[in-house]
Structure 1
């Protein structure tokens, strides 16, 4: 998956350098110190406190790097749970608590954990239902084109732009030629954040010196994470403009579908 180079470098430095130093220190320890360190890392107290905090921070940073909300949510759950358990652990050490109090906190912990798991499940379900058939596609921009006409389609160019000027904000690629019955696709894992109220367009020649620009999807989000467009080209009208139907998904308004297979003006 393509990511921003600066973000990747900071991620490697932030997580790689401490990991290297820890491993280096561990390798220098004698046998007894290594056993003590391993036993400390294996304790439930470490795993559910410091371990959860570190794991949560890692998932949050990874989610920011890859622009995946599900990783950010998982990281937030682990980080919050680790912080809560760390506070509880310190508080529990400061005083001798009764068995009843400990049971209450145990059940509270189980309840909180269950709540977050249910919340995570609902989050996944909402995304799954909202995206429908387009859930299977990766984040980024996916364009699939099927030529169901009986003629060859040539020189299709796809790009993001604003309606007012059609200046190319991000060139997504070209389809040089599409034979009758042929299907092809274009995929870009990265969507450049160039402002909201833009659209995904495709451009093609209609005459020797003229080109037509058609809108495929309106993208309202300033930083969209996923845009999918499935196009079926059925032919051309008398002016050479493509007749097609399209369906797809984008982050803000969800699924969409429209039909331009009738004669165009």
Structure 2
């Protein structure tokens, strides 16, 4: 097990998860129901959910040293980004803004792949 990878995992997943949990506990019941509705929507699951799950798999791969975790992580991350791009294109009132967001997503994804491989 790689100690650096465990520290990276805790910093990138553990701290934000703790902060979100603490914020959730401070919410009123109505706000909690709104959060539950947002987090269980199909749009959230297929965009941010797949992206986050792919990120978790990519962070777990160096800890357990299983290459299939990295493969699954990249696939989930790619699907999440592609679905996000398509939904951004379909929902954009201005196609110019949709193109700029799409280019930004693709640049960030290519930088991410370049930095990790």
Q: Gapped runs of 5+ residues in structure 2? A: 94-117
Residue 56 of structure 1 is aligned with which of 41, 44, 54? 54
Query: 1:6 Cα shift?
Result: 2.3
Distance 1:23 1:66 in 2: 26
Partner of 1:42: 40
Aligned residue number for residue 88 of structure 2: 90
Query: Contact 2:2 / 2:62 at 8 angstroms: preserved in 1?
Result: no
Shift of 1:61: 1.1
Q: What's the TM-score, normalizing by structure 1?
A: 0.34
Q: How many Å separate the matches in 2 of 1:79 and 1:85?
A: 10
Aligned counterpart in structure 2 of residue 80 of structure 1, from 66, 78, 81? 78
Q: Which runs of 5+ in 1 are unaligned?
A: 96-265
Could you tell me the TM-score, scaled by structure 2's length?
0.76
Larger helix fraction of residues: 2
For 1:202, the equivalent position in structure 2 comes to none
Q: How does 1:180-195 map to 2 (within 5 A)?
A: none
Alignment partner, residue 6 of structure 2? 8
Deviation readout 1:163-182 (Å, 9 max, x if unpaired): xxxxxxxxxxxxxxxxxxxx
Q: Which structure features the higher share of strand residues?
A: 1
Contact 2:54 2:74 in 1 (8 A): yes
- Correspondence for 1:245: none
- Provide the aligned length of Structure 1 versus Structure 2: 93
Shift of 1:93: 0.4
Structure with the larger RCO, 1 or 2 (CA within 8 Å, 6+ apart): 2
2: CA distance, partners of 1:27 / 1:44: 24
Runs of 4+ in 1 over 2 A off after TM superposition: none
Alignment RMSD (CA, Å): 1.0
Q: 1-side partners of 2:52 and 2:7: how far apart?
A: 19
Please, which of 25, 28, 34 is the counterpart of residue 26 of structure 2? 28
